[in-house]
Structure 1
């Protein structure tokens, strides 16, 4: 089922998510729905808070949105930042029609579990590392625009304010 993706400035996007204590049928269904939603929205990653669920669950598929061959689900992910810092352009389904360059680590150590409660520990690099950092930020109520410089953020906020005003007038 396609889920509604919350967009900034929805206050739910700023809340910290709770750990998942048990993999239930509802969690499995949510993960499947998140993958379907991610594909429909042309994304490569999605976190549960983006669909209004304040739990620590993310889905990623770097083969998407075209191929849709490698969906991955991570429950209660944690990251250790181990690489060098690099600049990369990011966008977000919760911040539509906006992209910007951020500095992120190019390698991370991921620890999580899968939907069968198996432990996952892997080193991710490049786009995978950036995507993991981006999605895990959502679990802590952080959007990629929160990591921009003060100047870039003020320019974005002014643009959003103008856009919201125009929508109200329609």
Structure 2
């Protein structure tokens, strides 16, 4: 297994944020009863925004939120923001909510998707769209790594 210094910094920084703990299976060598409880951390690639992406607005009121993977991110003209890129259902039925934690070295984004409150008990089409969401930051991205937590 190759170890990358940036990955090691990412793991240490995420542990200091409290978003990463060492799973029991790793610490003891014994399997855990709930492997889904272990977060998956992915270092994201910076990629220019693609034409035709659907813009979503952060909505913490979504119903039945569940983890959503992020495909990439891009810088925005606003210095204290970035955009995450993902796939989702149509914005007439589905929404997203983002939680951000920052350190000097890392920006960790946890994205969730769910049903819009006004779409509960309403039929929705099964159509995927490429979405983008602006995420506000406390300070500019600079040279920090951007990671997704699912």
Q: TM-score, normalised by structure 2?
A: 0.26
Max Rg structure = 2
Q: TM-score, normalised by structure 1?
A: 0.24
Higher strand proportion, which one? 2
